[in-house]
Amino acid sequence: MADISLTFPDGNARSYGKGVTPAEVASSISTSLAKKAISATVNGQHWDMQWPIDADSEIAINTMKDNDAEALELIRHDLAHIMARAVQEIWPDVKVTIGPVIDNGWYYDFDREEPFTPEDLGEIEKKMKEIINRRDPVTTEIWERDRAVAFYEANNEPYKVELIEAIPGDEPLRMYWHGHWQDLCRGPHLQHTGQVPADAFKLMSVAGAYWRGDSDRAMLQRIYGVAFKNKEDLKKYLHMLEEAAKRDHRKLGREMDLFHMQEEAPGQIFWHPNGWTIYTMLQDYMRRQQTRGGYVEVNTPQVVDRKLWEASGHWDKYQENMFIVEVDEEHAREKAVNALKPMNCPCHVQIFNQGLKSYRDLPLRMAEFGSCNRYEPSGALHGIMRVRGFTQDDAHIFCTEAQIEDETKKFIDFLSEIYRDLGFENFSIKFSDRPDTRAGSDEVWDKSESALMAATKAAGCDFDLNPGEGAFYGPKLEFVLTDAIGRDWQCGTLQVDFVLPERLDATYIGEDGAKHRPVMLHRATLGSFERFIGILIEEHAGKLPFWLAPRQVVVASIVSEADDYVYEVVDALKAAGVRAEADTRNEKINYKVREHSVGKVPVILAIGKREVEERTVSTRRLGEKQSKVQSIDEIVTELAKEASPPDLA
């Protein structure tokens, strides 16, 4: 057998027979490595320990201590198979379908007449641990298509037969065995079931799922699981889920009486007075910041004729996400076709195009709190985080190519200050380059990507590449916040666009007296107000910064004789700019405190006979067990200062 040369990470090379497997390579190095190995990296590709190597290659043998991403992928992928095996060992008549790896875990879809119960999940987990402890070998073979079909037909697995029929004819069919149990899979997998950490996974839930996402096909049962490399990481993740449930903005929205949503307006928000207070306070703050940042504010129509969307490219590239409106215009032969605007940029170009612009007018920073509507599938909607109707803190900077770098730096500084004011000290940046569906030539995209990347580096910012996720008209930066429990939220964006000014014929007069195309920088800081408010609610677990809290102070009476003084204190607080309300109901003070604490009121002032006599209040802050006695002047001065937004403090 001919020899091939395998080069290791340390630069050393060894000769092996053609067709050698990584398992054999690991054994040739040391017995301990052969036992600990979980996979290999061959010429940059993740490689199963059993797959043969047929040519000179670079190779690295991976263990659980190496690349976390690859190790977790293997653990989760093997657990999907182990779970399916466990289900069929317990209920042999259940049919299996597919089981991919997803964020933090995996799922597998089953065809079973009886619904899985929470008790069933516990039984499946127990069986999975038995399989892991058996340390059954994982083996693989390549099969001919006819043999695979015959195998699955004989075993009454129609879903597997259908999957094989969907695989291109020239693609090999790889079969994997985990002990006696077999599945069709591309791999790679671990060497034996015992390499899966038995104490680092948990089955989480069951949901319905149509076969292949088709509502006309069978409804299957999907079991979700999570898995990590060790028990400690699993424990941290489960704790994070507990915290996330407590912080869920939908739950807190009900408790704080902020908003509601209903079937008659899917993906739209009904803001209650408390929620709208947060919204308007945040909007006022952003308006002041944008004015300081040199932005001019505009407002544009929500319903625009399709002709503009055709000219901008949105009709071809984005129509599936747009709400179309047909109107019988008077005296018109055909219905007028309009669309609710999904974004503001084409309308801003229309304002830019009114009148002649000079290079002296640039950069022109045009901002709008623009109400947009986008069709999101009903299954993707999520509280106020993912909606169909929303308002962006949107802006477009019309500038020259030479100004891109400076404007990028200014925006990153602008965004950084706002995030700090709102309690987010750090953020990361993703650089998203050209998507498959896009407008503009490769030459234009080369120029756009180079300009944005150079500007980001000049601003002193590191970034991670996010391939193929740019807008259809240009590359973008995505600014990602990390919240109090470690979740990432993509909020702000900055996009460089050479395409739209060309399509919509935007020009300015340069120093040479000739017409030139401006560059258009699309930017948003918060993203949408709706989503960012949801993030703030979850970040602070409803305990919003005092200046944003919709109900800042409740002044509660302990006895009815204190009612007049309660209203006097409320009036004094309101005069000082504090949102205050009275609670003089005939209820015990402990009941009032508990109720307003659930509503996340930051400060409760209790007033009884002694407070009336001494002209004081008993101050209790949310989350604190002890109260503090203060004079009325002291508490008014203290809370008036806290009520001031950070940019005015």
Which residues are annotated as catalytic? 345, 374, 392, 394, 396, 476, 522
Look at residues 248, 215, 574, 507 and name the one whose alpha carbon lies nearest to residue 358. 507
| Peptide linkage before 188 cis (omega within 30 of 0) | yes
Look at residues 559, 542, 595 and name the one whose alpha carbon lies nearest to residue 275. 542
Which residues fall within 8 angstroms of residue 162, CB to CB, at 6 or more apart? none
- Report angle CA 67, 68, 70 to the nearest 5 degrees: 70
- N- to C-terminal Cα distance for the chain? 79
Bridge partner residues of 107 (DSSP): 224
Is the Cβ–Cβ distance between 470 and 440 less than 8 Å?
no
Look at residues 264, 248, 277, 228 and name the one whose alpha carbon lies nearest to residue 68. 228
Residue that is written with structure tokens 């079991």 in the block: 223
From CA 521, how far away is CA 295, in angstroms rounded?
13
From CA 398, how far away is CA 521, in angstroms rounded?
6
In 3-state terms the chain splits into helix, strand, coil percentages (rounded to 5) of 40, 30, 35
What DSSP element (H or E) covers 164? helix 158-166
From CA 631, how far away is CA 261, in angstroms rounded?
42
Residue 208: count other Cβ atoms within 10 Å of its Cβ: 10
Residue that is written with structure tokens 């289900």 in the block: 87
Q: What is the length of the chain?
A: 649
Look at residues 485, 523, 250, 286 and name the one whose alpha carbon lies nearest to residue 387. 250
From CA 594, how far away is CA 582, in angstroms rounded?
15
From CA 102, how far away is CA 223, in angstroms rounded?
12
From CA 225, how far away is CA 642, in angstroms rounded?
45
Look at residues 163, 236, 193 and name the one whose alpha carbon lies nearest to residue 79. 193
Look at residues 99, 216, 225 and name the one whose alpha carbon lies nearest to residue 163. 99
What DSSP element (H or E) covers 340? strand 336-340
Determine the 3-state secondary structure of 439 from DSSP: coil
Look at residues 108, 99, 102, 46 and name the one whose alpha carbon lies nearest to residue 71. 46
Query: Residue type for 113, please?
Result: E
Bridge partner residues of 173 (DSSP): 143
From CA 429, how far away is CA 164, in angstroms rounded?
41
- DSSP strand pairing (603-607 vs 476-482): unpaired
From CA 97, how far away is CA 99, in angstroms rounded?
7
From CA 515, how far away is CA 273, in angstroms rounded?
50
Positive or negative CA dihedral for 300, 305, 306, 311? negative
Phi/psi zone of residue 574: left (φ > 0), alpha (ψ -120 to 50 degrees), beta? Answer: alpha
Residue that is written with structure tokens 């404007």 in the block: 407
Determine the 3-state secondary structure of 481 from DSSP: strand
